[in-house]
Structure 1
Amino acid sequence: MDSPLSSFLPESLQAPAAAVIFQAASGMFLLFTLVAARMTGLVVLGPVFGHPHIPLKVRALLVLALSFVLTPAVISSGHRQTFQWLDRDGDDEVSVDEVPATVQPAVRQLLERLGKNPEAGLVAAEFELSLPQADSMGEYLRLVVLEFVLGVGLGLGVTILISGLQMAGSLIDQQLGTSLGTVFNPQLQMEVSLSGELLHQLGLVVFLIVGGHHLMVAALMDTFQALPVGYACMTSDMIEQLASFVQQALVLMLRVSAPVMLVMALITLAQGYLGYAVPQMNVMMLGFPVRALVGLIVLGLAFPVIVESISHWLPAGIEQLRLVLLRQPA
């Protein structure tokens, strides 16, 4: 089958032997670029990886380096592990209904070639997926976009969880009376509250400490087994999981801001009592410094609990994403 690059070949390379070599080289190039596309999606939106303070050239080199490492591993992984991941019911057979939509045409072709019933399944010895052929530049771009979107889904999910810390900081600053003081967050490309930026940076530090960057790369590597190169797709389960991460980010926001919010509620009640008992006292003016000071003290005391919550939510979220990408029950 002709490669989309074959039209650029000089006549000297269109001999049978040279054409075979070029076909193998173009196949390796296609495999590498698709692996790089999936990795690029992770690096673009993933926490730490996609931080704007990291120069674009450094991120590009990171994608190339990781792709060079992962491509040989993808080649040597074989079809046995992919068969085990796709055999969801554990009956040692893979049917059309068990595989993702992008893999179903390849399974039907295998069944037809083997002369088996389309409703039947493939055993491990019969299961073999070849790299899809990009017959045109449009088909090649379609494969690249699908791989890129899959990587984006993994990076976006973790970024959504960390955004819960940003929202918690904004809620805390509203109670402390410091919401007017903002700083620019380059990753979000917007001005955020001081406490929000503090908690966001804390989340990134905890993410690195718990090895979140390693977990994300490992999860991406596992996706090459359940969704081989060239067969990537964004499933409805993945979209639902990303939507559930928004809910989890809100829960994380409440857990992080709860200590400060509780103390601020008590201070508000005390202010109301003083304003009623001592009308001559300017409770509002006296309350601003008290709320800010007490709030910062409570936030400092709550830091160990906040770190514990972050260290629990982030690895658990990455694992949920990994299981959904592998089409396993989360």
Structure 2
Amino acid sequence: MLAEFLELNIFGFLLIFGRLGATISFMPGFSASYVSVRIRVTLALALSFAVMPAIAPNLPVLPTSVAQLGILFAGEILVGSFIGILGRVLIGALQTAGTVIALSSSMANALIQDPIAEQQSSTVSGFLLTLGIVIIFVADFHHLMIRAAMETYELFPPGAPLPVGDFAQLMARRVADSFILGIQLASPALVIGLTYYIGLGLLGRLMPQLPVFFFGLPVQVSLQLWVLTATVSGIILVFARRFQEGIGAFVP
């Protein structure tokens, strides 16, 4: 009896750990390479242990075959990964906005390490992504993502068939929304840049001897930096609201 009890509890704990661990592994801020794997595993184990008493009654019985057990764990990892990747897709709007702003301000060649994609990206993208991660933790959106992962036990009970088609459709819609949001966040810089280029082109036609490139580039960079300074608070506020709405769709 004791051996059976321990076996069921270990099975339930590992099942919960599979979903929550996958969520934390892809969550913005926790999934970066500068966060130790030991920290991520410890956090996932602690969360799994804390929520196990509430979730254990809804867990399925231990499968009798290894194939069924593997399918069950794969489903849990898929659901957890979906929530974590959804957060990365939403914060990708800041990367899109930063790239567009950098291109319109001639700063796209100034590269730094991207804290989300973990590769070289523009300075503006790195700046906005760093602010986005700070906002996620300051506004407790990481708690919202963990709560969303918990609510998935009501939406997608362990062992039940997963709506993979709905997952793909929702993810595609969120990717499109993230790209559109990134363009919208960068729209002030786009409008200012387009207006400046038109004015610079007219000035070059009126004064052919004017060194347009030598004269225009410093003004362009200074103007776009001023626009970024004036709009960065609005960019982050709009992103925070949309991020909360995107993750909050799973939280009643």
Name the TM tier (shorter chain).
over 0.9
The aligned counterpart of 1:25 is 6
SS in 2 for 1:192: strand
For 1:37-186, list aligned pairs within 5 A: 37-75=18-56, 131-186=60-115
Larger Rg: 1
Q: Cα distance, 1:186 vs. partner? A: 5.0
Q: Is 2:114–2:125's contact at 8 Å kept on the other side of the alignment?
A: no
Q: Cα distance, 1:234 vs. partner? A: 4.6
Q: TM-score of the superposition, structure 1-length normalised?
A: 0.73
Q: Give the whole-Å Cα distance in 2 for the aligned partners of 1:139 and 1:35.
A: 16
Amino-acid identity (%): 24
2:154 is matched with which residue: 225, 231, 243? Answer: 225
Q: TM-score of the superposition, structure 2-length normalised?
A: 0.94
Deviation string, structure 1 residues 37-58 (Cα, Å, up to 9, x no partner): 0001101111112122110111
Instruction: Show structure 1 runs of 4+ deviating over 4 A.
Output: none
The aligned counterpart of 1:237 is 166
Indicate the RMSD between aligned Cα atoms, in angstroms.
1.7
Q: Cα distance, 1:156 vs. partner? A: 0.7
The aligned counterpart of 1:195 is 124
Q: Cα distance, 1:221 vs. partner? A: 1.2
Q: Is 2:32–2:116's contact at 8 Å kept on the other side of the alignment?
A: yes
Q: Is 1:168–1:257's contact at 8 Å kept on the other side of the alignment?
A: yes
SS in 2 for 1:221: helix
Q: Does 1:36 align with 2:26?
A: no
Q: Cα distance, 1:176 vs. partner? A: 1.0
Q: Greater shift after overlay, 50-59 or 218-227? A: 218-227
Corresponding pairs, count: 252
Q: Is 2:115–2:126's contact at 8 Å kept on the other side of the alignment?
A: no
Q: Is 1:149–1:234's contact at 8 Å kept on the other side of the alignment?
A: no
Q: 1:195 to 1:232 in 2, by over 3 A?
A: farther
Q: Is 1:176–1:291's contact at 8 Å kept on the other side of the alignment?
A: yes
More helix by share: 2
Q: Which runs of 5+ in 2 are unaligned?
A: none
Q: Which runs of 5+ in 1 are unaligned?
A: 1-19, 80-129
